[in-house]
Amino acid sequence: AGSQTQSTAGTPRQSRRRKSLAITYEEGQGDGAEPRRARWEPRDWREQLERIREMRRSRDAPVDDMGVQKCYDSNAPPQVMRYQVLLALMLSSQTKDQVTSAAMLRLRRRGLTVDSVLQMDDDTLGQIIYPVGFWRNKVKYIKQTTAILKQKYGGDIPSTVEELVQLPGVGPKMAHLAMHIAWDSVAGIAVDTHVHRISNRLKWVKKETKYPEETRVALEEWLPRDLWKEINWLLVGFGQQTCLPVNPRCSQCLNQDICPAAKRL
């Protein structure tokens, strides 16, 4: 599950790195007090974040129109809505938002509920969700997870990250987004490939991370908690439009002058 924001880093070895550090004191201590261990922060991160917000102001990336938060029936009963959110997240793994959105629309046209999916045979479910990535595996996971929801949760979805990640086909990113969207609860940062890539390019992690889950832990150590929900939406759209996986559009990026990766790419 997502950890609470903590302070972990030590004193820097070289004075030239002091700009990226913020010294904090125990509550009630004033000048001359013994400082706590310095909390590491990336250099220029606040300015980088503001510029990304500016680039995302138009809200016209695929995630804005066809992301999971747009895939469920907002008029459905809360329990059905939450199930649809989880299903959309399961379909979205390694799949473009446009493909996920279309698959969800086809499912919703048939009445997308726990009971309707349990009554559907595997071949029919596969035909409906195709061509989402790894659709055959997702048919299996959707059926298994839906049965668990029916038997253990009365047709609803779990309300904790710990329980969500126990469901077949549900990983940490999906669990955190399910908490954000379905339960309006921030338990941690949802890190997908875009957030993972951009966090490493901007040096928002103390040392390079290889996996999204490592990136989540690293970000939660320093990023203020009130930004945890926003950061996924911001960086996913930014990654879809500007900070692309291959041939990023650095010349169009407002952060070109303060991005550690801009000159190398």
Tokens of residue 251, six digits: 């010349």
Choice among 138, 143, 173, 203 that is catalytic? 173
Our answer to whether residue 173 is catalytic in this structure is yes
Q: Are 141 and 90 in contact (CB under 8 A)?
A: yes
Burial label, 9 (beta-carbon count in 10 A; 0-12, 13-18, 19+): middle
Helix (H/G/I), strand (E/B), else coil: 165: coil
Contact call for residues 165 and 171 (beta carbons, < 8 A): yes
DSSP 21: E
How many angstroms separate the CA atoms of 179 and 188, rounded? 9
How many residues are given for the chain? Answer: 265
Between CA 248 and CA 175 the distance in angstroms is 29
Question: How many CB atoms within 10 Å of residue 124?
Answer: 12
Residue type, 10: G
Annotated catalytic sites, by residue? 173
